[in-house]
Every structure is written in C-alpha cells, then in structure tokens.
Structure 1
Amino acid sequence: MMYTTHFGLTEVPFSMTPDPRYLYMSERHREALAHLLYGVGEGGGFVQLTGEVGTGKTTLCRCLLEQLPPRVDVALILNPRLTDIELLAAVCDELRISYPAGTTSGKLFVDALYRHLLDAHAQGRRTVLIVDEAQDLATDVLEQIRLLTNLETPTQKLLQIILIGQPELIRLLDKEELRQLAQRVTARYHLLAFSEDDTRAYIVHRIQIAGQKKKIFTDAAMRSVHGAARGIPRLINAICDRALLGAYTQDQRRVMAATVRRAASEVLGETLTPRSARRWQWVGAAVLVVVLVTGTWVLVTQGQARLIRRAVIPSAMNPTPTSAILSALLSDPSLRADRQSAFASLYASWRLDVDGSMDNLDCERGRSEGLQCLFKTGSWGKLRRFNLPAIIELSTPAGDRRYATVVALDEQNATLDVGGRRHVFPLSEIDLYWDGPFILLWKAPVLSSVPIRPGTRGKDVEWVREQFAEFDGVPGGGRNRQVFDNDLRARVIAFQRSRSLMADGIVGKETLTHLSAAQRDPKIPRLRRAGS
C-alpha cells in the first residue's frame, strides 16, 4: 500500500487477511476463549459461541484450534448449508473416515463415525466437531447433529460439538422443536463488540506490529473510529485502512477525526457518519414530537420505511406507556439511559429504594435484600420463561451503548423503561438494536451448597421439595423429605424441560432462578401476570 512509507510502516497494519502476529485479544475475547476451552474439556454436549458479524468469532475459533491438546481430533465445518446426509459425509471427510462411494444412507455414515469414535476413545483421543456460521443450519440438520451426541460409551460421550454463529443462532435454538438440543448446551458465550478502550488499544497494537511506535491516530480520531465501527474489529480495520490512505493523499502525518469521518462515510455509507447521524436524530426527534402531540399515524424513513404506532400521552396521574421511535429515543443526548439508570429502574420494579443516587449502582445494592444478578444471553422466549424484569443492552445507530429495562412483555411487544420513561415497542424493532445479553434480579434462597445433586441429604433438599409442592401442588417425600431421591430427580427434570433448561436433574443456579421465579409471591415483579 502506497501509504506505508509515508507513515513509517513496514507493512499494512489493517489488512483483512488473518495474521496471527496481529492478534489482539480483548478481555471479552479471552473470556469467550476460556468458555470454549472449558466446553471442550467437559466431554459431550454442545458449546455455543455467538456474536455479531465481524466481532472476531472466526479468530477465536482459530485460537481454539491452536490451543487444543495434542490428543484431540477436530472436524471443522465452514459451510453449514448442507443436508443432513451431506453434513454426515463432511464430518467423515474431516476425520478421514472411509465410507462407500455414492452412499446416501445416514445409517452407514453414523455407523462408520461411531466405530471411529470408539477406536479414538480406546486410544485416549477425543473428537470435537466445530460448525461455523451455525445460524444457517437447517432444523433437520441440527436435529441430526443432536443425535450425534447420543454416540457414547456407558460412561462418556464420544463427541463434543461447538456451534459458532451470529445472534440468529440464539433465536434458532430457542425454537420449541429444538428444545432438546438447547438443553444439551453446557457452555454459552455471546461475544460483544470492543469497548472504546479496546478499540484504542487495538489500533495502537496493530500499528506497532506494523513497525511504527509513534502515535498516528489522534485520540479524537480513535473515538471517531470506535463510534463509526461500533466496536466491531472488521469495520475498525476497513475504516482505519481507508483513513490512512485519506491522510496520505492530503499529506498529513497524523490521522485526524475529520479524515476518519470521511473514511467511515465511504466504507459504511453516509447514514452512519456523525453528520448524517445528527441529521437523523433531528428528523427523528421532530417526527417524535409530531407523533406525541397529534397522536396520529405517520410513516418515517430512516434507512427503511417504518410505521409508527399511535401514541398515548401519559398524564401525571396515570403514567401510561407511550409509543416512540426507538432509534430517535436512543440517540437523544438529553436522555440518561446508562447502566446505572437501568439498574435504578430494575430495583424500582422490586420496590427497592436507591437512596436518590444512581452513581455506581449495580448488583451489590440488592444483596442485602437477598437479591442476586443473573447474567444471560438469550431471546424473548427465554425472558418469557424467566418472567422477571431485565436490563438489556442496546446499540445505537452511532455505535453507542444504551440500557433499558424490560418491565412488561407479551407475544408482540415489550414495554421498556428508558431513562425513567416507559415506552411500548414491537419486538422486531427492538431486535434491530439488541443482540441478546440481559441482566435480571432473582430472589436467592439461603442454601448451604449449590448445586444440589441427586443423593444429597439435608435442609437444602427439603427446601427444593417445598418449592415443587408450591409450584405444582403435589407434596412428596414423606419421611424422606430431606433425601434427593429418584422421585425428586424426575420432578426436577420435568421442570427443567418445561423451561428449556439442560434436563440433568441437578438443581444448579439457573434451575434455582427459574424455581424461585415460579413462586406465587405477589412481591416478585413479573413481565406477565398469570392469566394475562
């Protein structure tokens, strides 16, 4: 590239071609890799890694392959748009398993794979199947993959499966017909984009690897890169590369924010530049005023045509939720929609006072009341099953992070508390800005040890029985109320299946959360009340 000599670089720092020398692992990437390695070591079941396009999932997969123990065999499927038979053939090809040419018999493939897995197990080897872009898998192919986890010895699963995909994979696995597969996921991680500090460190790191120790991008320029790229590494590369070229053509020795904005406009399109983003904020705010004042139907174009619902003006006596344009709301600089304000709303739903201060408000506030935070990634279906208010993280068109609290939810709409005001939005509209992470509070019981496993004895087991007696109205245990027997295990498994949890009969934290949320306690806030 012509600009390398100009900036004292020995090579192009922001090439799209993968190069292990340029690898930068943010804290989130390290956590994700740790989850993958943990899942591989579990022995059987599924590991799920999701993230937006360009956040580094494939890079993590490459790191995983480099760090696997030597006695691990890997089948890597990069093109998941296959039939179930084609998938079995691809797995056999990856593992160098022979099969009759031209066969279309699924049984022949599975039998050959089973023999191979048993032989590998006898030699002390483990086998891992990795499927990239797994959100493109057909339902029947996913079911075939699930059946592969049934290949086992009397004591151990023979195949570990890793599914890597975009956020659509979360919603795919939330389907009713795939609940058996979802229950077998032993480790999940949703990879978020870089924070602003990560973006800054990433840019500096790549420039230094390319041979320049001096600062080329100004602080303002790096902030502009982060905002335009929304913290997505692939977009950061594209914008920085174009910005370096732009600065070179203008004979500038440093890349300024204005140059980054022009580069982002070329790479991403005009509507993602700060100038046009401000223009759309103004348009959106103006239309919002019209909607709120007139209560009429309007059609707004913001990247695409969107129908805005009828607005209802809240009164001081009756704070009825209002309809609004979500993008305009999230882009309103006067609205406080940070994590602390979302926690204030969440605690308010539990009728807890935050002492008038929202500074540093987090999970610690609820501990004295017996409340704990649960951090999860999922879909609307998962939130419905918890049926508890939750904080969700939203990304604005300009790449900023805003936070809202889901306080009500039905099949089509969600009521969000954003900056202290409530608005109703279609789920499809919120999905444009939400990738699945959420935080909820739950009333944690006072137990001596978690998880509670079959065979355990004591007061903890008696508490579990009491919860089930309240939940389904069927007492049990008799004299063995403090013994975790097979009858209680069967009730736990049935409950876990009803909530699309891993049906292992073990009362762990997530099962406890669902069990606690299922209590008929009027003090527990709900997204939906019984019968609604």
Structure 2
Amino acid sequence: MYLEHFKLRRYPFENVPDPAFFQATGQYKRVIASLMNSVQVGRGLIVISGPIGSGKTTLSQKLVNTLSQETQLIWLAEPPKDAMELFSFVARELGVEEGGSSSFILQRIRERLLLNNEQGRTCLLIIDESHHMNDDVFEAVRVLTNLEQLTFKLMQILLLGQPELMVLLNQQKLEPLRQRIAILHKLDRLRPGEAREYIASRLQTAGANTEVFTKAAMALAAHVSGGIPRLINNICQMALQHTFERGGDVVRVEDVKAASVELGYGNLAQEYLAWFKERANELRSQRLKASQAQPNAQVEQVLQRTAQSGPGASGAADLQAAPNPAGQDQPAEESGDVFAMNDLPEEDATETPFDMQLRGARDAPPPKSRRHVYVLAASVLLFAAGMVYHLYRTGALDIW
C-alpha cells in the first residue's frame, strides 16, 4: 500500500488498541499514571468512562503491558449476565473449583487470593463495556471489592465504559458500590491542539522522518473528528490513501476533505473551511487597519518637517519611503493549503466555535431564537403578576 510511498515502517492509524502508539501526554498521561499507582498499592475499584473511541481500551492495554509477572490478569471483554456467571468465571481463572452456591465460590476465591497475597502475587479484574452491566453484576462487583487483607484489596477491579456507566453508578440504589470507587476518571475529547499532537505522535511512532500532513490538514482532521481518537484514525487513514492514489507526497487539506466526505463528514469539513476563510480575512483586515496607523503617523511627521523647513529632496525622499499599505488586504483563497494555519493566531488555530460546541461549552450565549422565547415568557409572567395585583387592589379576589 502506501508504507513505502510515505517512508513509514508501519501503518500509523490502525484502529486496534496497540500500546506502542499510546500517547503519554495530557489526560492519558495522568490517567495511566493513576492506574499504575492504584494497582500497585491495591486501592481496589477503579472506574474509567469516556465516549466511544476515546481510548479506554488502549489505556487498559497499556496498563496491562506495565503489569509485573506477579499480577494475574482476568479480562472480560463484555460483562457477564449475572453475579453467578461472574463468580464462576473468576474462580475458573484463578484455578479453583467453581461449583456450588455463590457463597462457597466466594469463599474459595478469597482463600486463593489470600494465598496469592502471601506469595507476593496480586490479581487485576478488567470488565470492558461496563455500561451494559445490570444491578446483579454491580452487586457482585461490590462483593468482590470486600475481599481484603487488612488495608490491601485482594482483587483490583477496573471498570471501562461509556458515559452511560456514570449514569448507572449515580443511581441511589448503587450508593454502596459508588462509595467503594477509589479512582474515577472521565476521558474527554481531545482539544484541537492535542489532536494535532496525537496525529504527529502516531506518524513519528510509525517511522515518519519528514512532513506527512500539513499543519492545516491536521487541523481539519482534528475538527472533523470532534477530538475522538478513533475517528481521527479513520480520517487520517483514508486521507493517506487518497494522497497516495493521487501521487502526492504530503497530505493536504483537499485530501482530508475528500476523506471526510467519504466517511460522511463532508458538511463538518466544509463548515470548518468556510469559518477558517472568514476568520483569516477578518484578521487580515485588522492587520491592514493596524498597519495604516503607523504609516499615516510617519507621513504626518514628514509634512510637519516640510512645513518648517520648506519642500526639499529630503522631505520628498521621506514621503517616498513611507510605507504604503495599499494592496495588503488580500483575501484568503480556498486553494489547497494557501491559507495556512499561520494565517491565524495560535488561539484561533487551536479553538474554533464548533470545537467549543463539541466540548459542550456551557458559557456560550443561547441562540437568538431561544432568547426571544425567554423574553416572551418573562413578559407573560409580568403581565400575569400585574393582573393578579390589580384584582387584589380592586377586591375582585374576594368575590372568587
């Protein structure tokens, strides 16, 4: 495919939880450090929630790669259907008899974990897709967290799930389990700047020694993906393929735009490019006005000197040398990467209005139509209050 064309050793944007591509920056650096410490000291129950494709499984794979040989891993790709199934699975993985009632199984699990603890061994249970767990399984997890030796939890439990997991855990009936959560992390979408770092990091890990994506192309991919790593991978993978097919050496804006269209995100790409062009033109207009102030001041100084000493070669030369801002206001054109990221200051290149909307910014003003509704509702309430007061003063309320 395109590995040799872009001089890469491996495919940089495969959607598999490969720890080699783990980016230990930002929130992921903090979370992985917290996970490693929690498992090491035996804090017990850990919960990580995040949107689909936000990197939860990759985080857990990175954690598994850091575990010592003394840690036994028990991994469930999806939750069991009930408590008995969970107890039986854990017993089987620990190598103890799984028959009998749940109480007997739990007793044998505890005895094995105590033996492992005496031998310096620990146990980590990971349950993925935990937002699908039912109340019976949640209760089983709570019971497993009660298996401890003094201040050390005999079994470390990591629950991975989508934001719906937090909704479930916030139920009043799950308060006993929620109180046992030692560490809780909510993964957020990557900010635009972090998304560009993510793309650059994966390319570097894959062996890229030269520029593969332009800065503007990375910014467009970051915007269209909404900061979701899995979507970033999909867009960048298809953009690389598109660039390879057209014989290009560098992925440009038009390649990311074509990939976005194929993946069904063409409207988002077009929206960002339109905003970028408008913002770039606005800033260039501001620069023009700022540049006009200084030349006009210089011309005024020359005229003052001329008025004092009379016209001469020196004054004419000064006037000729005075900067002329005419022609500096060139509009940004949507042609490849002509309007590069350098056209915008860093804060604009990093954060767009749509990026703020994706992150759920709470301080954005309400839409104009909604403000009209608020004004109308307030007017109705004021009118009703006035009518009640009028009826009260006229005694009409006594008749009612």
Q: What is the TM-score with the length of structure 2 in the denominator? A: 0.66
Quote the residue 1:286 is aligned against: none
> What SS is found at the alignment partner of 1:404?
coil
Match of 1:173 among 161, 169, 172: 169
Q: CA deviation at 1:113?
A: 0.8
Q: Do the aligned partners of 1:231 and 1:399 also contact (CA within 8 Å) in 2?
A: no
Q: Does 1:232 align with 2:228?
A: yes
What letter corresponds to residue 27 of structure 2 in structure 1?
A: R
Quote the residue 1:202 is aligned against: 198
Quote the residue 2:18 is aligned against: 19
Quote the residue 2:111 is aligned against: 115
| Greater Rg over alpha carbons, structure | 2
Output one character per residue of 1:98-133: Cα deviation in whole Å (capped at 9) or x when no partner: 333xx5x32232122111112112223222222111
> What SS is found at the alignment partner of 2:362?
strand
Q: Does 1:139 align with 2:135?
A: yes
Q: Does 1:404 align with 2:351?
A: no
Q: CA deviation at 1:400?
A: 4.6
Q: Distance in 1 between matches of 2:24 and 2:358?
A: 21
Residues 18 and 45 (structure 1), Cα distance of their counterparts in 2 relative to 1, 3 Å cut: closer
Quote the residue 1:160 is aligned against: 156
Quote the residue 1:212 is aligned against: 208
Q: Distance in 2 between matches of 1:57 and 1:167?
A: 12
Q: Does 1:187 align with 2:183?
A: yes
Q: Distance in 1 between matches of 2:18 and 2:148?
A: 38
Mind listing any 5+ residue stretches in structure 2 that lack a counterpart?
276-346, 348-352, 372-400
Q: CA deviation at 1:173?
A: 0.2
Quote the residue 1:31 is aligned against: 30
> What SS is found at the alignment partner of 2:263?
helix
* 1:496-515 equivalences in 2 (<5 Å): none
Q: CA deviation at 1:269?
A: 4.2
Q: Distance in 1 between matches of 2:263 and 2:367?
A: 36
Runs of at least 4 residues off by over 6 Å: 276-279, 419-424
Q: Do the aligned partners of 1:49 and 1:189 also contact (CA within 8 Å) in 2?
A: yes
Q: Distance in 2 between matches of 1:422 and 1:173?
A: 36
Q: Do the aligned partners of 2:23 and 2:198 also contact (CA within 8 Å) in 1?
A: yes
Output one character per residue of 1:248-277: Cα deviation in whole Å (capped at 9) or x when no partner: 222222111122022022224445433499
Q: Do the aligned partners of 2:238 and 2:259 also contact (CA within 8 Å) in 1?
A: yes
Q: CA deviation at 1:63?
A: 1.4
Residues 159 and 29 (structure 1), Cα distance of their counterparts in 2 relative to 1, 3 Å cut: same
Residues 269 and 93 (structure 1), Cα distance of their counterparts in 2 relative to 1, 3 Å cut: farther
Q: Do the aligned partners of 2:113 and 2:155 also contact (CA within 8 Å) in 1?
A: yes
Q: CA deviation at 1:396?
A: 5.0
What letter corresponds to residue 129 of structure 1 in structure 2?
A: L
> What SS is found at the alignment partner of 1:418?
coil
Q: CA deviation at 1:77?
A: 1.6
Q: Distance in 1 between matches of 2:218 and 2:272?
A: 19
Report the aligned-residue RMSD: 3.1
What letter corresponds to residue 25 of structure 1 in structure 2?
A: A
Q: Do the aligned partners of 1:76 and 1:94 also contact (CA within 8 Å) in 2?
A: no
Q: Distance in 1 between matches of 2:219 and 2:84?
A: 49
Q: Do the aligned partners of 1:44 and 1:159 also contact (CA within 8 Å) in 2?
A: no
What letter corresponds to residue 228 of structure 1 in structure 2?
A: V
* 1:105-504 equivalences in 2 (<5 Å): 105-275=101-271, 396=354, 400-401=358-359, 403-405=361-363, 418=365
Q: Distance in 1 between matches of 2:3 and 2:151?
A: 58
Quote the residue 1:514 is aligned against: none
Residues 241 and 146 (structure 1), Cα distance of their counterparts in 2 relative to 1, 3 Å cut: same
Query: Aligned pairs, how many?
Result: 296
> What SS is found at the alignment partner of 2:81?
coil
Q: Distance in 1 between matches of 2:10 and 2:132?
A: 36
Q: CA deviation at 1:217?
A: 0.9
Q: Distance in 2 between matches of 1:402 and 1:99?
A: 47
> What SS is found at the alignment partner of 1:73?
strand
Residues 63 and 273 (structure 1), Cα distance of their counterparts in 2 relative to 1, 3 Å cut: same
Q: Hey, which of these two has a bigger chunk of strand by percent?
A: 1
Q: CA deviation at 1:245?
A: 1.1
Residues 77 and 422 (structure 1), Cα distance of their counterparts in 2 relative to 1, 3 Å cut: farther
Residues 81 and 273 (structure 1), Cα distance of their counterparts in 2 relative to 1, 3 Å cut: farther
Of 166-175 and 39-48, the range deviating more from structure 2 = 39-48
What letter corresponds to residue 216 of structure 1 in structure 2?
A: V
Q: Distance in 2 between matches of 1:72 and 1:155?
A: 18
Quote the residue 1:496 is aligned against: none
Q: Distance in 2 between matches of 1:402 and 1:177?
A: 29
Q: CA deviation at 1:42?
A: 4.4
Q: Do the aligned partners of 2:127 and 2:159 also contact (CA within 8 Å) in 1?
A: yes
Q: Do the aligned partners of 1:81 and 1:138 also contact (CA within 8 Å) in 2?
A: no
Q: Hey, which of these two has a bigger chunk of helix by percent?
A: 2
Residues 24 and 249 (structure 1), Cα distance of their counterparts in 2 relative to 1, 3 Å cut: same
Q: CA deviation at 1:161?
A: 1.6
Residues 4 and 128 (structure 1), Cα distance of their counterparts in 2 relative to 1, 3 Å cut: closer
Q: Distance in 2 between matches of 1:156 and 1:208?
A: 41
What letter corresponds to residue 211 of structure 1 in structure 2?
A: G
Q: Do the aligned partners of 1:129 and 1:162 also contact (CA within 8 Å) in 2?
A: yes
Output one character per residue of 1:457-489: Cα deviation in whole Å (capped at 9) or x when no partner: xxxxxxxxxxxxxxxxxxxxxxxxxxxxxxxxx
> What SS is found at the alignment partner of 2:361?
strand
What letter corresponds to residue 365 of structure 2 in structure 1?
A: V
> What SS is found at the alignment partner of 2:148?
coil
Output one character per residue of 1:7-41: Cα deviation in whole Å (capped at 9) or x when no partner: 23333221223434333222210101122123224
Q: What is the TM-score with the length of structure 1 in the denominator? A: 0.51
Q: CA deviation at 1:207?
A: 2.2
